Amino acid sequence: MSAAAGVAPLLAVRDLSKIFPIRRGIFGGTAGQVHAVDGVSFEMAAGETLGLVGESGCGKSTAGRLLLRLIEPSGGQVRFHGAEITGLDAGAILPVRRRMQMIHQDPYASLNPRMQAGEIVGEPLVIHGMGDKAARQARVAQLFERVGLRPDQQRSYAHEFSGGQRQRLGIARALALGPELIVCDEPVSALDVSIRAQILNLLMDLQDEFGFAYLFVSHDLAVVEHISHRVAVMYLGRIVELTDKTTLFEEPLHPYTEALLAAVPVPKVTGRRRTRKPLQGDVPSPINRPSGCHFHPRCAYVHAPCHTREPVLREVTPGHLVACHLHDAGPRLPLARQT
């Protein structure tokens, strides 16, 4: 799913980057830089779910926070409904944040332990001056019911909830202002396996009901396959492949995507054959990144240009974007089918 021709996308990201300086000594001198996000570009349509996947430390969570201006970008643009928001000051960004919310990875750490659950969910309404006290109370009660929490739990504190209930509380808080885009930062990774499916199904049901979009950040490919419409794969701060989920899982074109899929357990009952090469080696340091293609030290298909030339993310087949020198001369067979 992508924005139709002539229709502005809900979200358009262009060359987004974030560099964190490494401080050393009592005078705070710069000893190096971490390129957490390095020239990321993508678009999202209203009502779609874009999965953002990659190994830990690839920059996917940082990218999600940059969209909401929870941290300031070092460069690039973020356009929401066609309007650039990267240059807005603290006062001007507040109305935009009303339409863009976040569900955090750790539901306990993201909840104020000194506030009752009803106060937590209602706090965004107070901050944005929405409704009077009675209207806010009615809205909170409605949200509790919609996410599967009891009305009497509004008077409970965060430590009195289970992990799944805390995440439901975080979801209710994100819904309070009626957002159009929700960034989900590993929203089920801290939950028991038995609870994950319930939360994922809740998120999908809410999307069907209210029509908002998700940027779904996760390292779990099975979760991403379940909930996403399209998937973007990140490696060392860059998007290396972007396409719809069916194409990505059946016909990956980037060696890194192929390696990630090779690491996913395949039950024998599915009848799938594993022909892909598993990932070798460790992720290079983001402080001292390899030249050219950052993936080339671990790539099973590496050749001369990979060492010196940075591949450009481009459309190889309709709707399928890849940053890999294997496809510089045009579309090739999916890696899993090459011999």
89-123 pLDDT, tens digit per residue, is 988 998 998 999 999 988 778 889 999 999 999 99
Q: Does the structure show a pLDDT above 70 at 333?
A: no
Tell me: do 126 and 210 sit in the same domain: no
Q: Does the structure show a pLDDT above 80 at 182?
A: yes
Q: Look at residue 63 and tell me if it is in a domain.
A: yes
Mean pLDDT of 226-232: 97
Mean pLDDT of 243-260: 94
Q: Look at residue 92 and tell me if it is in a domain.
A: yes
150 vs 166: CA distance, rounded Å? 13
177 vs 274: CA distance, rounded Å? 45
Query: Residue 197: which domain range?
Result: 11-99+179-337
169 vs 269: CA distance, rounded Å? 37
Contact assessment for residue 170 and residue 130, using Cβ atoms and an 8 Å cutoff: no
Bridge partners (DSSP) of residue 322 are 241, 314
Residues of the chain with pLDDT > 70, as a percent, come to: 89
How many CA atoms, within 13 angstroms, populate the side-chain half-sphere of residue 131? 14
Question: Given pLDDT bands bounded at 50, 70 and 90, which one contains residue 271?
Answer: low
Q: Look at residue 73 and tell me if it is in a domain.
A: yes
Q: Rounded mean pLDDT of the chain? A: 89
Q: Does the structure show a pLDDT above 90 at 272?
A: no
336 vs 264: CA distance, rounded Å? 14
Q: What is the pLDDT of residue 123?
A: 95
Q: What is the DSSP letter of 288?
A: S
Q: Look at residue 107 and tell me if it is in a domain.
A: no
Q: Does the structure show a pLDDT above 90 at 27?
A: no
C-alpha torsion 149→100→315→74, nearest 10: -130
Tell me: do 81 and 212 sit in the same domain: yes
Q: Look at residue 6 and tell me if it is in a domain.
A: no
Tell me: do 226 and 290 sit in the same domain: yes
Q: Does the structure show a pLDDT above 50 at 339?
A: no
Q: What is the pLDDT of residue 269?
A: 46
Residue 272 belongs to domain with CATH number? 3.40.50.300
Query: How many domains does the chain fold into?
Result: 2
Mean pLDDT of 274-296: 78
Q: Does the structure show a pLDDT above 70 at 278?
A: no
Q: Does the structure show a pLDDT above 60 at 273?
A: no
Question: To 10 degrees, what angle do helices 133-146 and 117-127 make?
Answer: 130
Q: From its phi and psi, is residue 131 left (phi > 0), alpha (psi between -120 and 50) or beta?
A: left
308-316 contacts at long range (C-beta below 8 A, 24 or more positions apart) = 311/240, 313/41, 313/238, 313/239, 313/240, 313/242, 316/253
216 vs 103: CA distance, rounded Å? 10
Q: What is the pLDDT of residue 108?
A: 79
Question: Given pLDDT bands bounded at 50, 70 and 90, which one contains residue 286?
Answer: confident
Could you tell me the pTM of the whole model? 0.90
Q: Does the structure show a pLDDT above 60 at 155?
A: yes
Tell me: do 60 and 148 sit in the same domain: no
Q: What is the pLDDT of residue 4?
A: 45
Q: What is the pLDDT of residue 275?
A: 55
pLDDT higher for 14 or 110?
Answer: 14
Q: Look at residue 194 and tell me if it is in a domain.
A: yes
DSSP class per residue in 296-333: GGG-TT--HHHHH-PPPPEEEETTEEE--GGGTTS---
